């Protein structure tokens, strides 16, 4: 079905109204910055990409609404871990390459006038590497053991002690790593003046800062779900099974 979108609306206008559309244009290698004065149809024809598919993705983003307040505390631990992996881990995996590309471009084009970009890039890349390793440790070590405890509790069976001794040990490591990432993003927020683009900022500049802001907000919720809900309840469950 043909989507009813403004045929005359330019790419730059979409990005200005909702920076999330920048990731769509970037995916299809459509320049929304220097060549943002084209319509979606014109850009798709120039790049020989499926115009309808691009429009559907833009339409989905523009019509997506923020989530209602969710009572995460009432969720079973296995459901919460599934949500964290599919929602937050996947988000981090998807956004890292996009932000890396945008920050790299900003450093090359604007690095001399804005040397803070070089430090922002360094901090983000360090965070990207640490977060990637951190999530793998959760997915391969911590979360499987917590799922094992959930199953044991449901079936009223005993659990064998893991190689790491007690669930508190990997949790302590995860919380320490959370603190490191929180500190890194506090530095990024300071360097970006709380994600406020400078007066001479181009579209890529503005989009990158908006994406960094969103990335930090997602990270805060991600850490909250683990530090304040998942981890303490996993410790309680382990103690109950002893």
Asked if the model's pLDDT at residue 34 lies above 80, the reply is no
Q: Are 99 and 215 in contact (CB under 8 A)?
A: yes
Chain-centre distance for alpha carbon 54: 21
Q: What is the pLDDT of residues 107-118, one digit of tens each?
A: 999 999 999 999
Q: What integer pLDDT is reported at residue 2 of this predicted model?
A: 44
Long-range own/partner contacts, residues 166-174 (CB < 8 A, 24 or more apart): 166/238, 167/142, 167/234, 167/235, 167/238, 168/235, 168/238, 170/137, 170/141, 170/142, 170/145, 171/142, 171/231, 171/234, 171/235, 173/137, 174/134, 174/137, 174/138, 174/142, 174/226, 174/231
Q: Are 166 and 115 in contact (CB under 8 A)?
A: no
Binning pLDDT at 50, 70 and 90, where does residue 65 land? low
Q: What integer pLDDT is reported at residue 61 of this predicted model?
A: 85
């Amino acid at each position: 079905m043909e989507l009813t979108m403004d045929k005359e609306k330019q790419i730059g206008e979409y990005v200005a109204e909702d920076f999330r559309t920048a990731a769509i244009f970037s995916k299809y290698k459509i320049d929304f910055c220097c060549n943002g004065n084209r319509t979606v149809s014109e850009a798709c024809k120039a790049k020989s990409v499926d115009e309808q598919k691009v429009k559907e993705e833009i339409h989905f983003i523009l019509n997506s609404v923020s989530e209602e307040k969710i009572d995460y505390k009432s969720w079973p631990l296995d459901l919460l871990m599934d949500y964290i992996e599919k929602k937050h881990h996947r988000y981090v995996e998807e956004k890292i390459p996009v932000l890396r590309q945008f920050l790299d471009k900003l450093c090359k084009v604007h690095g001399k006038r804005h040397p803070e970009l070089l430090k922002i890039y360094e901090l983000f890349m360090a965070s990207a590497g640490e977060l990637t390793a951190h999530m793998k440790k959760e997915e391969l070590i911590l979360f499987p053991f917590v799922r094992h405890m959930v199953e044991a509790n449901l079936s009223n069976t005993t659990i064998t002690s893991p190689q790491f001794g007690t669930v508190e040990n990997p949790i302590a490591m995860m919380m320490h790593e959370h603190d490191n990432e929180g500190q890194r993003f506090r530095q990024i927020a300071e360097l970006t003046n709380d994600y406020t683009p400078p007066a001479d900022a181009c579209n890529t500049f503005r989009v990158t800062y908006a994406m960094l802001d969103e990335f930090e907000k997602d990270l805060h919720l991600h850490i909250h779900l683990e530090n304040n809900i998942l981890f303490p309840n996993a410790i309680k469950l382990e103690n109950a099974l002893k």
